[in-house]
Amino acid sequence: MPGDAPTSDGFRRQAVVCSVLLPGLGQAVRGYRAHAAGIFFTTAALLACAALLARAGGGESAVFFLMLLVLPWWALQSYGASLPGPLGWKHTLQAAWADSHDIRFLGALFLLTAVTDLYIILARPDYALTVFCLKPGGFWGMLAKAQSPTLHLLIGYGFLRLRRWGLLLYLAYAAFGVMNASANYACFGYGRIRMVFLFTLVAFTLYIVWRRRCFPPPAAQPAL
């Protein structure tokens, strides 16, 4: 069994920084070299898959793969480097699950999406969002575009704080998203981005409903 002599909070924080910079480095610093090697080679394989997707399917496929697989993997192994020993995937997954860090990670993704939404709106002022087969312009068009980063920001914050209102807001957002994507599919037919969004939204919603107990009732937590 590898040693893990220095287990102070400061040392574990340093291990996290190491793993953020290079996956597996924090585990190696703490003496878990076999575990660290597995993390490093798995990360290399995931990045290689992302590069192949970028060549075969374009940048959009690679970004989707990075956000759904590589980024959570990177975050999970960094979190694992912070835990008291002995380090291992079972221990890391159990701790992340018990503390609802999977929901918090989804919240961070929503915040990241809010930033990218805002960038697209500012960089492409002529971009029109399709809402139930229509592309509203003028004031209503700006309102339709503004709701996307606003909702993503609120949901992201609610998920990070595990607030019940964040769950309810997400469910309303998901219901609207499914209806809107279905209507656009009926009007315009198959579209790769449209279908990927729809299936991803349904999968995320099923997972979040399954993990709904991570959101305690309002009486058990502050309003914000």
**What does the domain layout of the chain look like in residue ranges?**
9-97, 101-220
With H, G, I as helix, E, B as strand and everything else as coil, classify residue 131.
Answer: strand
Q: Which of 3-7, 104-108, 205-209 has the lowest mean pLDDT?
A: 3-7
pLDDT (average), residues 100-126:
89
Mean pLDDT of the chain, nearest integer: 87
Picking from 217, 178, 210, the residue whose alpha carbon sits closest to that of residue 103 is 210
Q: What is the pTM of this model?
A: 0.84
With H, G, I as helix, E, B as strand and everything else as coil, classify residue 223.
Answer: coil
DSSP classification of residue 22 = S
CB 43 within 8 A of CB 50: no
Helix or strand (DSSP H, E) at 60 = helix 59-65
Which pLDDT does position 145 carry in this prediction? 81
**Which residue's structure tokens are 């920001």?**
153
Which pLDDT does position 1 carry in this prediction? 44
Tens of pLDDT, residues 114-161: 998 888 888 887 777 777 777 777 777 778 788 889 999 999 999 999
DSSP classification of residue 215 = S
Q: How far is CA 26 from CA 7, 40, 87, 97, 156, in A?
A: 12, 11, 11, 21, 28
Cis geometry, peptide bond prior to residue 222 (ω within 30 degrees of 0):
no
pLDDT (average), residues 174-200:
84
**Which residue's structure tokens are 């701790």?**
95
Interior CA angle at 74 toward 73 and 76, to 5°? 65
Phi, psi (degrees; rounded to nearest 5) at 37:
-65, -40
pLDDT (average), residues 24-40:
93
Q: Is the pLDDT of residue 60 over 80?
A: no
**Which residue's structure tokens are 């994507």?**
181
Q: Which residues pair with 134 in a beta bridge?
A: 131
